[in-house]
């Protein structure tokens, strides 16, 4: 068997197995019980729209609006009010108290990885609204490996062609031409399957997210005035009217993404591939990538808001009209 024949056979078999694996993962995804394709509260809506990062952003926004937290420059969070009202808010308060100086980026990073925030994703997965992070992780790695291998093999074929090793006697077309179909097919198939496997949100989850954005679920968004937590949960940073506060949160998001990317690369990274990972902690299973939500598994369009992701679109504390009114709901409602 020649080099080109070996490459075409290997890539073809690998692509076939990858497609079968991707289909199997999609079929194994739990389906939501009839009538339960709804979000139960603002945190679930936030998780579907932007992953763990959006949950923390919404919590900080709501607590800042209610006077439980203060977000000051340059990106410093302090606890000012009474006790937290639920487990997610308690996780945020705990992150603030454990962060020297109260840096918003560090608070966000730590709170995203907390059991309370991660548990929101677990509950959504249990109801079939999200695909569990570990489901399909091996096939995502397979897809990435196949794309890399195809590129390497193409480069080898190119070198062989340039060196004139392709033929035996007489003229023969360079071997690189013979492996082009395998190269293109392998890369395209790997990219398509990896994208499909990164998408964590299920069909039922998409329905629940749309219902939340139109006010058709518990904790949905609708009406003339909305609490900052709901606005941030479903709208992201684009709806923040306080420019300085918005910049502080955007800087915190960038710092979180950079910290997660660094810890992810030092620990061989997450196979799901989002740059908004929560780090290498084994308990932070929803922070490894999967491109965020609707598009990526935990977010509204990418993926955990990132996306991805974990670390998807976030927001501010007083956000949306300084914590008093959203000005009619049009600019501060869900996108």
pLDDT digits (tens, 9 = 90+) for 35-54: 567 888 899 999 998 899 99
The C-alpha angle 73, 77, 79, rounded to 5 degrees, equals: 135
Domain that residue 194 falls in: 3-27+134-198
Judge contact between 8 and 180, C-beta under 8 A: no
What element of type H or E holds 72?
strand 69-72
Instruction: Answer yes or no: do 71 and 164 share one domain.
Output: no
Percent of the chain whose pLDDT exceeds 90: 21
Whether residue 296 is contained in a domain is answered as no
Q: 41 and 218 in contact (C-beta within 8 Å)?
A: yes
CA distances from 292 to 10, 79, 133, 202, 324 (A): 32, 29, 11, 12, 30
In the chain, how many H helices and how many E strands?
10, 2
What is the structure's pLDDT at 284?
54
Q: Are residues 104 and 9 in the same domain?
A: no
| Element (DSSP H or E) covering residue 43 | helix 42-65
pLDDT tens figures, 251-309: 888 887 776 665 544 443 333 333 334 544 444 577 644 333 443 333 333 333 333 33
Q: Are residues 194 and 260 in the same domain?
A: no
315 within a domain of the structure (yes/no): no
**282 & 224 share domain:** yes
Give me the mean pLDDT over the 166-178 stretch. 62
248, 326 in Cβ contact below 8 A?
Answer: no
* Domain-located, residue 178: yes
Q: Give the single-character DSSP code of 15.
A: H
Same-domain status, 146 and 248: no
Q: 127 and 141 in one domain?
A: no
Overall number of domains in the chain: 2
Examine the domain organization and report whether 250 and 112 are in the same domain: yes
b/e 38-68 (16+ beta carbons within 10 angstroms → b)? bbbbbbbbbbbbbbbbbbbbbbbbbbbbbeb
Q: Using CB atoms within 10 Å of the CB of residue 170, give its burial: 0 to 12 exposed, 13 to 18 middle, 19+ buried.
A: exposed
Q: Is residue 114 part of a domain?
A: yes
Assess if residue 294 is contained within a domain: no
Same domain, 115 and 222: yes
Domain end call among 145, 167, 198: 198
Q: Are residues 55 and 161 in the same domain?
A: no
CA distance linking residue 329 with residue 332, whole number of Å: 5
**Does the pLDDT value for residue 14 go beyond 90?**
yes
DSSP tag of 77: E
pLDDT at 260: 62
Do 267 and 280 fall into the same domain? yes
pLDDT of residue 187: 93
Per-residue pLDDT, 282: 40
**127 in the same domain as 99:** yes
């Amino acid at each position: 068997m020649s080099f080109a024949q070996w490459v075409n056979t290997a890539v073809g078999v690998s692509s076939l197995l990858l497609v079968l694996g991707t289909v199997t993962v999609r079929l194994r995804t739990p389906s939501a019980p009839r009538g339960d394709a709804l979000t139960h509260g603002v945190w679930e809506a936030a998780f579907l729209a932007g992953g763990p990062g959006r949950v923390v952003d919404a919590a900080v926004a709501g607590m800042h609006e209610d006077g439980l937290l203060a977000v000051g420059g340059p990106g410093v969070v302090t606890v000012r009010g009474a006790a937290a009202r639920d487990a997610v808010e308690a996780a945020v308060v705990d992150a603030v108290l454990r962060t020297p100086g109260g840096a918003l980026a560090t608070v966000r990073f730590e709170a995203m990885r907390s059991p309370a925030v991660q548990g929101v994703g677990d509950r959504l997965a249990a109801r079939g609204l999200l695909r569990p992070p570990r489901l399909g992780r091996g096939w995502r790695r397979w897809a990435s490996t196949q794309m890399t291998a195809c590129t390497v093999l193409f480069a080898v074929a190119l070198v062989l062609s340039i060196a004139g090793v392709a033929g035996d006697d007489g003229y023969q077309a360079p071997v690189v031409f013979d492996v082009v179909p395998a190269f293109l097919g392998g890369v395209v198939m790997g990219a398509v399957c990896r994208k499909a496997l990164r998408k964590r949100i299920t069909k039922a989850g998409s329905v629940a997210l749309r219902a939340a954005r139109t006010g058709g679920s518990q904790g949905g968004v609708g009406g003339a005035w909305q609490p900052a937590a709901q606005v941030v949960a479903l709208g992201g940073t684009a709806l923040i009217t306080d420019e300085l506060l918005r910049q502080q949160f955007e800087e915190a998001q960038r710092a979180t993404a950079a910290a997660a990317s660094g810890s992810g690369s030092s620990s061989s990274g997450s196979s799901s591939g989002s740059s908004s990972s929560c780090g290498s902690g084994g308990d932070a299973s929803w922070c490894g990538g999967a491109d965020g939500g609707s598009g990526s598994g935990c977010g509204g369009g990418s993926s955990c808001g990132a996306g991805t992701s974990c670390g998807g679109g976030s927001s501010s504390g007083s956000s949306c009209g300084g914590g008093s009114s959203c000005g009619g709901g049009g600019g501060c409602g869900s996108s």
